[in-house]
Structure 1
Amino acid sequence: MSRPRSFDETDVLEAAIDCFWARGLEATSVRDLAGRMGINGPSLYNAFGDKRSLFMRALEHYAVRSMRERIGRMERLPDPKAAIAAFFGELISASLADPDRRGCLIVNTALEVAPHDPEIAILIAAYLDEIEAFFRRALVRAAAGGDLAPSVEPTDMARLLLGLVIAVRVMARTVSDRSRLDGMVRPILALIQARPDIRTPA
Structure 2
Amino acid sequence: MARPRAFDESAALDAAMTRFWEHGYAATSVRDLGDCMGLGAASLYNAFGDKRALFTRCLDRYLDRNMRERIARHEASNPPREAIEAFLAESVERSLADRRGCLLVNTALEIAPHDEEVGEVVAARLGELEAFFRRCILRGQRSGTIARRHPARDLARLFLTTVMGLRVLARARPEPALLRGAVRQALTLLDPPATEIPS
Shorter-normalised TM range: over 0.9
Q: Where does structure 2 lack aligned partners over 5 or more consecutive residues? A: none
- Show the counterpart of 2:15: 15
Name the TM-score, length of structure 2 as normaliser.
0.93
Runs of 4+ off more than 3 Å? 195-201
Shift of 1:39: 2.2
Tell me the CA shift for residue 62 of structure 1: 1.2
Tell me the equivalent position of 2:77. Answer: 77
Query: Secondary structure of the equivalent of 1:138?
Result: helix
Partner Cα separation in structure 2 for residue 195 and residue 154 of structure 1: 14
**2:31 touches 2:41 (CA, 8 Å); kept in 1?**
yes
Deviation at 1:199, TM superposition (A): 6.4
For residues 10-89 of structure 1, the aligned pairs below 5 Å read 10-89=10-89
Superposition map of 1:96-107 within 5 A: 96-98=96-98, 101-107=99-105
The offset of 1:152, in angstroms, is 2.9
Q: What is the distance in 1 between the residues matched to 2:43 and 2:176?
A: 43
CA distance in 2, matches of 1:135, 1:195: 17
Q: Deviations over 1:82-120 (max 9, x none)?
A: 11010011111112111xx11111111111101111111
Greater mean deviation of Cα atoms: 130-139 or 183-192: 183-192
- Report the CA distance between 1:31 and its aligned residue: 1.6
1:161-202 per-position Cα deviation (integer Å, ceiling 9, x unaligned): 00111100101112222111111111011221x23444689x
Identity of aligned residues (%): 52
User: 1:195 corresponds to which residue?
Assistant: 192
Stretch deviating more after TM superposition (17-26 or 144-153): 144-153
Do the aligned partners of 2:140 and 2:146 also contact (CA within 8 Å) in 1?
Answer: yes
Q: 1:77 to 1:55 in 2, by over 3 A?
A: same
Tell me the equivalent position of 2:111.
113
Given that 1:150 and 1:196 are in contact with CA atoms closer than 8 Å, whether structure 2 keeps it comes out as: no
Q: 2: CA distance between counterparts of 1:174 and 1:115?
A: 21
CA contact (8 A) 1:147 1:196 kept: no
SS at match of 1:187: helix
